[in-house]
Structure formats: structure tokens, C-alpha cells
Amino acid sequence: MKRVFLILTFASFLLGSCTFENVEPMSTECLAPVSYSTDIDTIISVKCGGCHGVGSLDGNLTDYAVLKTKVESGIFKTRVFITKDMPQGGPALPEDELSKLKCWMEQGALNN
């Protein structure tokens, strides 16, 4: 009986290792660190700064502290990734910029 149990345990281990090979590899999209100063600030200034610059009533997103509060409240993610109505009236952000913004948020939206 003990032997059968051992065989079953071994067989399930083998099966387990077989199915493991079928698991999708983890996304490597956000492995590279995204920099606020070189990547994010540039995207925001160019694509959003026209309406969300200094003195904007809708939030000066070119100011890190303001941008961070919008990220933390979730409104930034909502408008850019869910309702996708920002940039308002303009063409949607290209995939590489969306990816940088997403990864920057995932990495903690640092002022790096």
C-alpha cells in the first residue's frame, strides 16, 4: 500500500511538472525601470501639458506632486486606460507611451 502511494505521489509530481511547462511565461513588459524625469514627464508635457500645464483648472499634471495625487486617486488610470478620453479631443496615446505610463504606475509612480 505504501508503495502504491509512493508511485502515485511520484506520478502526480511528474504530471505536475509536465503541466508546468504549459504555463505562460510571466510578462516581461515592466521589467525595465521607467523613469519619471526622462520618460513620463516628457509624455505628459507634450501630450497633456497644453491643457494640464501651470495654472490649469483641470490639474497641472506637469507637476509631479499633482500627478501623483491623480494616480493615487485612480482618476489618472480611469481617464487614460478605461474611459480613454484623455488626451481630450486628440489622438489616443501610442502603445509604447501607454506601456511606459502603465509600468511607471506599476512600479509605484516614483519621482525617479
Closest CA to 85 of 51, 55, 62, 54: 51
Of these, 41, 52, 100, 104, which contacts ligand HEC (CB under 6 A)?
52
Q: How far is the CB of 20 from ligand HEC (least distance, A)?
A: 40
Query: What whole-number distance in Å separates Cα of residue 63 and Cα of residue 108?
Result: 17
Query: What whole-number distance in Å separates Cα of residue 65 and Cα of residue 109?
Result: 11
C-alpha cell belonging to residue 44? 505628459
Please report whether residue 53 would count as binding ligand HEC according to CB under 6 A. Answer: no
Of these, 7, 8, 50, 110, which contacts ligand HEC (CB under 6 A)?
50
Stretch that binds ligand HEC, among 8-16, 20-28, 31-39, 71-79 (CB under 6 A): 71-79
Of these, 33, 88, 92, 96, which contacts ligand HEC (CB under 6 A)?
88
